[in-house]
Chain A
Amino acid sequence: SHFLSLSLQAKMSRPVQARRLEGIDKNIWVEFVKLAATYSTVNLGQGFPDFPPPDFLKEAFVGALSGENQMLHQYTRAFGHPPLVKILAQFFGKLLGRDLDPMTDVMVTVGAYQALFCCFQAFVDEGDEVIIIEPFFDCYEPMVKMAGGTPVFVPLRPKAPKDGKLMSSADWQLDPAELASKFSERTKAIVLNSPNNPLGKVFSRGELELIADLCVKHDILCISDEVYEWLVYDGKEHIRIASLHGMWDRTVIIGSAGKTFSATGWKVGWTVGPNRLLRHLRTMHQNSVYHCATVAQEAVAQGFQRELERYGKPDSYFVQLPKELQQKRDWLVQSLDAVGMKPIVPEGTYFLVADISEFKSDVPDVPDSDEPYDSRFAKWMVKNKGLAAIPLSAFYCGPHKNNYNHFIRFCFAKEEATLKAANDILQKWKREKTSP
C-alpha cells in the first residue's frame, strides 16, 4: 500500500523498544571483559575465582547428573529444589536464631543477580525512592530505574587512617546526618551490601544499627546483599542486619552459591525472609523465569549439608576459604604497597581498591574528558601492562563518577601464580618509572 495511515506512520516513527530500557543500556562489564580478554596477561578485573570449586562440590554435581535419578534433568520445584531450600532453611535458621519454613521463607534464584531483580520488581513502583550506598555493585542503579524507581545515593566517605597505617575499608564510613537526610516520604527501600563490593567494607554492628533505626523509623524495606558473607578477615564478624531489632519483618537477605562455593558459573542464588515479603518475590519469579536449573541446586544442597556438619570446624570450607583468601589479600596488599599504589585493606570480599595517584604521570589528565580518569587509566594499564582491573568510578552513579576517580579495584581470588605474575608486572612498572 502506498499511503500509510497517520497512526501507522506515528507507530513506525516511535522507538521499537520499551521505555523501561531508557538509560540502562550501557554496561561497563561488556567493555572491560572484552578488554581483559583481548589484552590481559593477568586478569584481576571481573570478580570470579581462577581456582576451581572444592572437590566435594564438583563430585556432588557429577553424581547428580549421572546418577540413577533421571528426574534431576527435569523441572524441579519452581521456588527451589526441595533438598536445597530445606538445608538453606536449616542453615540460615541456625545463623539467625529462627525457625525458617523452607517452603515460604526461602526462594532459589538464578544467582543473587536475579534475586536482586525480583526484589526491585516486586517492591519498587514508579516514583519510589531507593537509597543506594556508594560505591555500589553497579547493577543496583539500572535495576531500580527499570522498575521505575529513583535511586538516591549516599556515599561512604574516607577518613584519613591513623599515622603510618594503611587505609582500611573500615575507614570509609557513612555520615549519620547525611544518611538520615536521604530518607523521604517516597523512600521505599535501602540496598545494603555487606561485605561491600568494591571496597570490602564489613559494616559494624553500630553502623548496621544506624541503618536499622532509620529503616524502622521510616518503615522501609532493606534489601540486604550478603553474597560475600563468608569472606571476612582478621577475625571480623559478618553481622546480618535481619537479626537486629525490628528488621526481620522488613529485610530480604540475598545469598549466592557462586561466591559461597567458588562456582560463579553455576548461577544459583537465594533469598531468605518472611513469607509476607517472599510471596511477592515468588509471584515475580513465577512470571519471569519460573524454574531454576535442577542439577546445580542438588549439588549445592549437598555442599551445604557437608558444611552444616562441619560448621565452625577447621575443615569447613567456610573456614578454609576465607583463610586462604586472607593470605592472598595480604600478598596483594604487599605488592601494591611496595610499588606505591596505596591499597585500602579490605575487611571482607575478594576485592581490593587501591589509590593509583602516584602512577598518574603515565596517563596524563585530559581536561573536559567525558570519561572518568580511572577508567582511562585502567584501559591504558590493561593495554600497556597487561594487568586488568576495574575503575572505581564504575561503582558510582553518573554525576558522582569523578568524586573518587583515582582508584582501581583488583580481584584477588586468584591462584598464587597469578598474584605473583601481577607482582612481577607491578615491580617492572615501578622500575621503569624510577629509571629514566
Chain B
Amino acid sequence: TMAFRHENTRRIEGLDSNVWVEFTKVAADPSIVNLGQGLPDISPPSYVKEELAKAAAVDRLNQYTRGFGHPSLVKALSQVYERVCGRRIDPLTDILVTVGAYGSLFSTIQALIQEGDEVIIIEPFYDCYEPMVKMAGAKPVFIPLRYKNDGNSASSADWVLDPAELAKKFNSKTKAIILNTPHNPIGKVFTREELQVIADLCIKHDTLCISDEVYEWLVYKGNKHIKIATLPGMWERTITIGSAGKTYSVTGWKLGWSIGPQNLIKHLQVVHQNTLYTCPTPLQEALAQAFWIDYERMDDPDCYFYSLSRELESKRDRMAQLLQEAGLKPVIPDGGYFMIVDVSTLNVDLSDVDEKQPYDYKFVKWMITSKKLSAIPLSAFCGPETKRQFEKYIRFCFIKKDGTLDAAEVILKNWNKQTA
C-alpha cells in the first residue's frame, strides 16, 4: 500500500469531539421526549413562511446576492437595531450577515483573535466558544459564574461573577471577553451594574467584547435586556451578535448577524469573503420582510419579539412546576429558553457505570434509556477546572409545544414510581 500522510492541521487538533454529535444522535429516536438540543418544535409564525414562499418565486432571488448581507436585510436590521440602541447604524459598513450566530462567532474570532491572545470565557458557556478560540491559536481563560445565595430561591440571577476574580483574569494579553446575555445555559440576564463591571475592565485594558445576544428578545417579567454596546466607551470595542433562528423560531434558516463599528466589522467582512462569501438569498429576503412587519409594530404588544417571550414565559413556569413536583429544584431563568436543574438530589447511583465521563453525562444517558427523556449535561459547557462543580446539573430546553411538555409531565410525574 502507498504511504499516506494526510493528517489534519494543528488548528483542528483535538477539536473533533462535541457534545451535540454525542447526544443529538441518541435523542433522534422519536420515542424519546427530547428536551435536550435547543430546537423549537413549535411552528414559526406563518408570515415568516409566507415571505419565504414569496421570495422563492422571484427569479433573481434564487441567485447570488451581496456578499456581506442582502441589501433589504441589512437595511431592516439597521432600522430595528438603531431603534433599540439609539444610535445610527450603517447597513453597509456596520453589519455582516452570517450563517447563523455560530457563523458570526467564527467570523469575529477569526478576524480579531490570533496566537498569543487570551480570551476570557464565562462559565458555563455555549460550548463552541472554547474550540473556536483554540482554533484561532489563542488561550481561553475561564471564569465561572458562582451561586451566591444560600436561601431557597433558585433564580438565574443568583449566579454572579466575582468582580475581584474577574479583574484578575485581565492582563495585557487579553484581546477579548465573550459575553452571552441572556445566558445559555443558565438563563441569566446580566444587569446594567454587572455589565458596567465588565465594561470598565474592557476599557481599562483596551479589550474587545464579543457579545452573544441571540436570546435578546426572550426576557421574562421583571427583566430587561441591556446591550453592553450601548454603555459609554463600549460601541467602538464591541461586536454584538444576533440570530434569526432564535428571533423567529427558525433555527434551520441559519442566519445571524454581527453589528459593530466599521473599523471592526470590516475585518469580519474580510473573513466572510474568504470563507463562504455570501449567505442564501431567499432566506435573507424573507427575513428582511419579517423584520419590516415586526419593526412596524415594535410599540405593539403583538410584535413577535414580545409575543414569543410571553408564550415562552408560561412554558418556563410550567417546566419549573413539573420539575419541582418531581422533587427537583430548577434554577428559574430570567431569559432564554433553557432551564438547569441539580439532579444530585435524586441520588441516582451510577457508580457502576464504567465510563470515565462526568456524572451528568452518565445521568443523561441513563435518563434517556430508562426514562425516555433527554437533556444536555452541563459539564459540556465548562472548562476543565470547573467540570466537577457543574457535573450535578443538566439542562432542559422548554421551547416545545404543549404535546411535548405533556409527555415530559407524564415522565416526571411517574419518576418516583419507577425505582430500579
B is bound to A: yes
Q: Chain A: residues with CB nearer than 8 A to chain B?
A: 1, 5, 7-8, 10-12, 16-21, 24-25, 27, 29-30, 33, 46, 48-53, 58, 61-62, 65-66, 70-78, 110-111, 113-114, 117, 121-125, 139, 142-143, 146-147, 216, 219, 221, 246, 249-250, 262-267, 276-277, 279-280, 282-284, 286-296
Closest residue on chain B to residue A29 by CB atoms:
B67
Report chain A residues within 8 Å CB of B2. 216, 219, 246, 249
Report chain A residues within 8 Å CB of B270. 17, 21, 24-25
Tell me the B1-41 residues at the A interface (CB within 8 Å).
2-12, 15-16, 18, 20-21, 24, 37, 39-41
B103 at interface by CB-CB < 8 Å: yes
B156 at interface by CB-CB < 8 Å: no
Of A1, A7, A123, A250, which is within 8 A of B172 by CB? A7
Give the distance in Å from the alpha carbon of A289 to the alpha carbon of B8 in the complex: 18
Q: Are B8 and A295 in contact (CB under 8 A)?
A: no
Give the distance in Å from the alpha carbon of A426 to the alpha carbon of B42 in the complex: 56
Give the distance in Å from the alpha carbon of A246 to the alpha carbon of B4 in the complex: 11
Q: Are B3 and A219 in contact (CB under 8 A)?
A: yes
Q: Are A291 and B100 in contact (CB under 8 A)?
A: yes
Task: Report the tally of A-B residue pairs with Cβ distances under 8 A.
Answer: 224
B267 at interface by CB-CB < 8 Å: yes
Of A27, A46, A123, which is within 8 A of B273 by CB? A27
Of A1, A50, A78, A142, which is within 8 A of B204 by CB? A1
B98 to chain A, nearest CB (A): 8
B303 at interface by CB-CB < 8 Å: no
Given A8-B172, A18-B112, does the pair A219, B4 have CB atoms closer than 8 Å?
Answer: yes
Report chain B residues within 8 Å CB of A124. 9
Of A65, A121, A250, which is within 8 A of B56 by CB? A65
A321 to chain B, nearest CB (A): 15
Give the distance in Å from the alpha carbon of A279 to the alpha carbon of B12 in the complex: 11
Given A266-B280, A267-B278, does the pair A5, B267 have CB atoms closer than 8 Å?
Answer: no
B102 at interface by CB-CB < 8 Å: yes
Closest residue on chain B to residue A266 by CB atoms:
B280
Give the distance in Å from the alpha carbon of A287 to the alpha carbon of B126 in the complex: 12
Given A265-B61, A267-B279, does the pair A75, B172 have CB atoms closer than 8 Å?
Answer: no
Report chain A residues within 8 Å CB of B283. 293, 295-296
Q: Mark B88-119, 1 if CB is under 8 A from A, else 0.
A: 00000000000110110010001111100000
Tell me the B237-296 residues at the A interface (CB within 8 Å).
245, 249-255, 263-264, 267, 270-271, 273-283
Q: Are A264 and B63 in contact (CB under 8 A)?
A: yes
Given A74-B250, A146-B274, A267-B276, does the pair A66, B15 have CB atoms closer than 8 Å?
Answer: no
Q: Are B131 and A287 in contact (CB under 8 A)?
A: yes
Q: Closest 5 CB pairs between A and B?
A: A265-B281, A294-B252, A7-B172, A18-B114, A52-B59
B38 to chain A, nearest CB (A): 9
B282 to chain A, nearest CB (A): 6
Report chain B residues within 8 Å CB of A266. 62, 280-282
Give the distance in Å from the alpha carbon of A296 to the alpha carbon of B253 in the complex: 9
Give the distance in Å from the alpha carbon of A77 to the alpha carbon of B28 in the complex: 10
B206 at interface by CB-CB < 8 Å: yes
Q: Chain B: residues with CB nearer than 8 A to chain A?
A: 2-12, 15-16, 18, 20-21, 24, 37, 39-44, 49, 52-53, 56-57, 59-67, 99-100, 102-103, 106, 110-114, 128, 131-132, 135-136, 172, 204-206, 208, 245, 249-255, 263-264, 267, 270-271, 273-283
Q: Are B275 and A71 in contact (CB under 8 A)?
A: no
Give the distance in Å from the alpha carbon of A250 to the alpha carbon of B7 in the complex: 11
Give the distance in Å from the alpha carbon of A24 to the alpha carbon of B270 in the complex: 7
* Secondary structure class of chain A's binding surface, majority of residues: helix
Q: Are B275 and A117 in contact (CB under 8 A)?
A: yes
Report chain A residues within 8 Å CB of B276. 110-111, 113-114, 117, 267, 289
Give the distance in Å from the alpha carbon of A358 to the alpha carbon of B251 in the complex: 54
Give the distance in Å from the alpha carbon of A354 to the alpha carbon of B365 in the complex: 63
Report chain B residues within 8 Å CB of A287. 12, 15, 106, 128, 131-132, 135
- Can you give 16 A-B contacts (C-beta < 8 A)? A11-B206, A16-B112, A17-B267, A20-B110, A65-B52, A73-B252, A75-B37, A122-B9, A143-B274, A265-B61, A286-B21, A287-B106, A287-B132, A289-B276, A291-B102, A293-B99
Given A113-B276, A287-B131, does the pair A18, B110 have CB atoms closer than 8 Å?
Answer: yes
Of A62, A263, A289, which is within 8 A of B53 by CB? A62
Give the distance in Å from the alpha carbon of A199 to the alpha carbon of B148 in the complex: 67
Q: Are A70 and B64 in contact (CB under 8 A)?
A: no
Give the distance in Å from the alpha carbon of A3 to the alpha carbon of B264 in the complex: 26
Give the distance in Å from the alpha carbon of A21 to the alpha carbon of B102 in the complex: 20
Report chain A residues within 8 Å CB of B61. 265
Of B43, B49, B99, which is within 8 A of A292 by CB? B99
Q: Are A280 and B8 in contact (CB under 8 A)?
A: yes
Residue of B60, B136, B251, B263 ringed by the most chain A CB atoms within 10 A: B251
Give the distance in Å from the alpha carbon of A345 to the alpha carbon of B15 in the complex: 47
Give the distance in Å from the alpha carbon of A279 to the alpha carbon of B8 in the complex: 9
B356 to chain A, nearest CB (A): 22
Give the distance in Å from the alpha carbon of A30 to the alpha carbon of B57 in the complex: 27
Q: Are B4 and A250 in contact (CB under 8 A)?
A: yes
Give the distance in Å from the alpha carbon of A115 to the alpha carbon of B250 in the complex: 24
Q: Are A125 and B10 in contact (CB under 8 A)?
A: yes
Q: Are B9 and A20 in contact (CB under 8 A)?
A: no
Give the distance in Å from the alpha carbon of A191 to the alpha carbon of B252 in the complex: 32
Residue of A121, A221, A267 ringed by the most chain B CB atoms within 10 A: A267
Report chain B residues within 8 Å CB of A20. 110, 114
Closest residue on chain A to residue B280 by CB atoms:
A267
Report chain A residues within 8 Å CB of B206. 8, 11-12
Give the distance in Å from the alpha carbon of A286 to the alpha carbon of B100 in the complex: 13
Closest residue on chain A to residue B9 by CB atoms:
A125
B413 to chain A, nearest CB (A): 27
B109 to chain A, nearest CB (A): 9
Q: Are B62 and A291 in contact (CB under 8 A)?
A: no
Given contacts A74-B39, A249-B4, A290-B100, 17 further A-B contacts (CB under 8 A): A5-B172, A8-B206, A18-B110, A18-B112, A71-B41, A73-B43, A73-B252, A73-B253, A110-B279, A110-B280, A250-B4, A265-B280, A265-B282, A280-B12, A283-B15, A289-B103, A295-B283
Give the distance in Å from the alpha carbon of A216 to the alpha carbon of B39 in the complex: 45
Give the distance in Å from the alpha carbon of A30 to the alpha carbon of B270 in the complex: 11
Q: Are A73 and B44 in contact (CB under 8 A)?
A: yes
Give the distance in Å from the alpha carbon of A62 to the alpha carbon of B251 in the complex: 18
Q: Are A46 and B64 in contact (CB under 8 A)?
A: yes
Report chain B residues within 8 Å CB of A11. 172, 206
A61 to chain B, nearest CB (A): 5
A248 to chain B, nearest CB (A): 12
Given A73-B49, A122-B8, does the pair A263, B277 have CB atoms closer than 8 Å?
Answer: no
B247 to chain A, nearest CB (A): 13
Q: Are A290 and B102 in contact (CB under 8 A)?
A: yes
Q: Are A48 and B252 in contact (CB under 8 A)?
A: no
Give the distance in Å from the alpha carbon of A191 to the alpha carbon of B250 in the complex: 36
